[in-house]
Amino acid sequence: MSPATLGKDLVGLEHMSAEQITAILDTAEPFKEVSERPIKKVPALRGKTIVNLFFEASTRTRISFEFAEKRLSADTVNVQAAGSSVSKGETLVDTARNLEAMRIDMVVIRHGSSGAAQFLGQRIRSNVINAGDGKHEHPTQALLDLLTLRDRFGRIAGLKVCIMGDVLHSRVARSNIWGLTKLGAQVAVCGPPTLLPSHVADLGVTVFRRIEDAIQWADAFNVLRLQLERMTAGFIPSLREYNRVFGVTNERLSKAPKDIVILHPGPMNRGVEIDSDVADGPHSVILPQVTNGVAVRMAVLYLLAGGAPDWATAGGDA
């Protein structure tokens, strides 16, 4: 098995090698161009059947996957399951067996429980791609973040990236921590201690208690969405105070020794974790992230389906 082979599933970045991650990013490069063509379609996954199985509401990720699939000529079905499998009355294992029985090739799963993607992957022969499982991982989001950083800086190694906000509940944060550290970046987290995991420093990241300190350090901020229910659950006193203490504002950023590149996985709460003039400002790469999302997902689908990284380069015209 070559180091770039991904295996059957993409569950998370924790157990992937730097070579595998780099192979995905490299494979995404030619796919970027597909989306710029008048006819945005290549036949790489023609005849493949893909189910987008979403147990949680999602607009951006689901649409991004669906575009990626369609631009690779796959046949796709979207399943928007209301709530978790438990409330639906069917267990996840039964859902898995039913999908298997329909002889599908790939499943893209979004689920509210950590471990759900791995659970599914262990029980079906189809490729499983994790589109976010609970608070565990969201690997394609981290991959598109990496691709966006690489576009901007020309490298990942040596970059200083600070993940801002609700790391405790964030699968985006975990995937980013693994991906960035494996590619040689330095990673920090910054947020209220109530929203940082108890042992986050043991993951090899620096912890900043105040955003002012993070601003002095970072090359880039990845600003996480603050879920409104964190306030009612008692993690923070109010959104207003959160913005006052931890909000990413131009006023704060103006004290940075260098221009800090701003990422956000979306959807944004403007005026809470990020101010509009930052989100829409010259150092924001939030929309390029979305564009790269399609390319990265095309790369993942393509590689899991058995495509070789070098074939992808030529595959644009295949």
Partner 1 sequence: MKPLLFANGRVVDPSQQLDEVTSVLVQDGRIAGIGRDLGNPDGADVIDATGWVIAPGLIDVHVHLREPGQEDRETIATGAMSAAAGGFTGICAMPNTDPVIDNQGAVGFVKAKGEAARLARVYPIGCVSVGQRGEQLAEFGEMAAAGAVAVSDDGQPIMSSHLMRTALEYARTFGIPVADHCEDMPLAAGGAMHEGIVSTRLGLKGIPAAAEEIHVARDIILAELTGGHVHLCHMSTRGSVELIRRAKEKGLNVTAEAAPHHFSLTHERCDGYDTNAKMNPPLREAEDRDAIRMALADGTLDCVATDHAPHHYDAKEREFDDAPNGIVGLETALSLALRELVLSGLMTLPKLIERMSCAPARLWHLPGGTLRPGSVADLALFDPAASWTVDPARFRSKSRNTPWAGETLPGVVHATFVAGRRVFSAADLGPRRHPTGA
Is position 135 an interface residue for partner 1 (rule: CB under 8 A)?
yes
DSSP β-ladder status, 75-80 and 127-133: unpaired
Cβ atoms < 10 Å from Cβ of 84 = 14
Residues within window 183-222 making contact with partner 1, judged by CB under 8 A: 197-200, 202-203
Give the integer Cα–Cα distance in Å for 203 and 234. 25
Shortest spacing between CB 176 and partner 1, in angstroms: 13
- Please report where in the chains the tokens 């046949």 appear, as a residue: 75
- Contacting residue, 35, 58, 60, 115, with partner 1 by CB under 8 A: 115
Taking alpha carbons only, the member of 35, 67, 28, 29 closest to residue 50 is 67
Is position 142 an interface residue for partner 1 (rule: CB under 8 A)?
no
Is position 114 an interface residue for partner 1 (rule: CB under 8 A)?
yes
Is position 72 an interface residue for partner 1 (rule: CB under 8 A)?
no
Q: Which DSSP symbol is given to 63?
A: H
User: Residue 69 or 145: which CB sits closer to partner 1?
Assistant: 145
Is position 48 an interface residue for partner 1 (rule: CB under 8 A)?
no
- Cis ω for the linkage preceding 267 (within 30 of 0): yes
Is position 7 an interface residue for partner 1 (rule: CB under 8 A)?
no
Dihedral of the alpha carbons of 115, 142, 65, 230, in degrees to the nearest 10? 60
Candidates 28-36, 114-122, 145-153, 222-230: pick the segment binding partner 1 (CB under 8 A).
114-122
User: Residue 88 or 258: which CB sits closer to partner 1?
Assistant: 88
Is position 86 an interface residue for partner 1 (rule: CB under 8 A)?
yes
Dihedral of the alpha carbons of 17, 21, 22, 27, in degrees to the nearest 10? 140
> Helices 18-34 and 139-153 meet at what angle, rounded to 10?
80
Is position 75 an interface residue for partner 1 (rule: CB under 8 A)?
no
Shortest spacing between CB 177 and partner 1, in angstroms: 10
User: Residue 81 or 92: which CB sits closer to partner 1?
Assistant: 92
Is position 25 an interface residue for partner 1 (rule: CB under 8 A)?
no
Is position 10 an interface residue for partner 1 (rule: CB under 8 A)?
no
Is position 98 an interface residue for partner 1 (rule: CB under 8 A)?
no
Q: Which residues bind partner 1 (CB under 8 A)?
A: 14, 84-86, 91-93, 111, 113-116, 118-119, 133-137, 171, 174, 197-200, 202-203
